Amino acid sequence: MVPRHNLPVIVWDVDDVLNNLMQSWFEVVWLPAHPECTLCFEDIKENPPHQLLGVSLRDYLESLDEFRLSRHFSSMLPNLEILDWFQNDGEKFHHIALTATPLCAAPASSAWVFQHFGRWIRSFHVLPSARPIHQVTNLFADKGDYLKWLNKGDVIVEDNIQNAELARRAGLNALVMPKPWNHAVEAITFKLSALV
């Protein structure tokens, strides 16, 4: 048996990888408040989607942050495809959560991660997302910069193509979670199965 401290490390993005944040927000908040909207989740080809929705970036982020702080977020189910993978193969790796979220939402995000994935993920890292009313000093330029500093991680699972590329430059293998805005087509479970 491989000693536990020698297991490969997977770094997990939280929103839209471990959970379905955008889809949940869109279906729970946006569509009920905008019955005239003709878009479906699969039409969200940009993230952030404010231009597709015809609102300012600030208004979109405020709405998303309100959702993150609501009971809807705390009761959001995990991505069942990912949860199933963890149940079958999670013990074969070490796991780190690395999310870009506003500091006001970090406690809710970490509680959600530990509630659903705490059996496997024991380390939660946050890069504070800038907000107009809550400016914070970020010690790192981006996730790639953070990963270089952390000096841990063999693989990252991301929905953001740019973050995946930054992680690659930091020396990690990057797996992209298929979402409408990233055009990835290969199932994440197929990609993850190649790690086992």
Measured distance CA(109)–CA(74) in Å, rounded: 8
The sign of the CA dihedral 78, 107, 111, 142 is positive
Phi, psi of 28 (to 5 degrees): -90, -35
Q: What CATH code is assigned to 4-20+78-193? A: 3.40.50.1000
- The DSSP output letter for 14 is I
Measured distance CA(165)–CA(172) in Å, rounded: 9
- Chain centre to alpha carbon of residue 88: 21
pLDDT digits (tens, 9 = 90+) for 68-79: 999 999 999 999
Joined tokens for residue 2: 């491989």
The ranges assigned to domains in the chain are 4-20+78-193, 22-74
Task: Please count the other Cβ atoms lying within 10 Å of the Cβ belonging to residue 57.
Answer: 12
Tell me the percentage of the chain whose pLDDT exceeds 70: 97
Report the mean per-residue pLDDT for the chain: 94
Measured distance CA(138)–CA(154) in Å, rounded: 24
Task: Give pTM, 2 decimals.
Answer: 0.95
Lowest mean pLDDT: which of 84-88, 126-130, 164-168? 126-130
